[in-house]
Amino acid sequence: MKFVPTDIDGVMLVELESMSDDRGSFARWYCEDEVSSAGLDPVGVQINFSTNERAGTMRGLHWQTPPHGEAKLLRCIRGAVYDVAVDARPGSPTLGQHVGVELSAENQLGIYVPACMAHGYLALTDGASVLYQVGAPHHSGAERGVRWDDPLLGIDWPAPVAQVSDKDRSWDLLDDLAQLAPLDSPTGDL
């Protein structure tokens, strides 16, 4: 595994280091020792699988507040998605900034998203499927979210959004980026 830093501290692109021969190829998908050696939190507590019937399906943007933050390692194993991580960490110098990357079965790229980062993706193909490992169990009471189309975030999605869940559509728009991660709240409540 090769970890490539992005403009946001802790968000890493994860490239597979494949070995190939006449049978095909082999690559290590995940290694806790390599993740820890890169200074990242392990993501071996839970594995989730998401399918998307149609291109244009939006999932996110959401995150878990401390102490239930979930670090994630995501890969698209069928089709393609545009994956976005938004910094929602209290006191972060990059609060509200985002990293976006196309993940596809073809490019085999992964993204590591630290805890307390708003995360979501847009399916770019019909049948896009995402497998993601998570570093903590999900706690619904700690979930927060922000709209994918919030003008303060300025995310330039590469395709039209055609389908969104009622929950993701109902997140409030921000009046100020500080609403992502208030410093005066120990749990990051909005």
Catalytic hit among 68, 132, 138, 139: 132
Do residues 60 and 147 make contact, with C-beta atoms less than 8 angstroms apart?
no
Confirm whether 138 is a catalytic residue.
no
For residue 122, give every residue at least 6 positions away whose Cβ sits within 8 Å of its Cβ, in sequence order, or none: 56, 57, 58, 59, 81, 82, 84, 148, 157, 158, 159, 161
Confirm whether 30 is a catalytic residue.
no
Catalytic hit among 30, 62, 112, 119: 62
* Active-site residue list: 62, 132
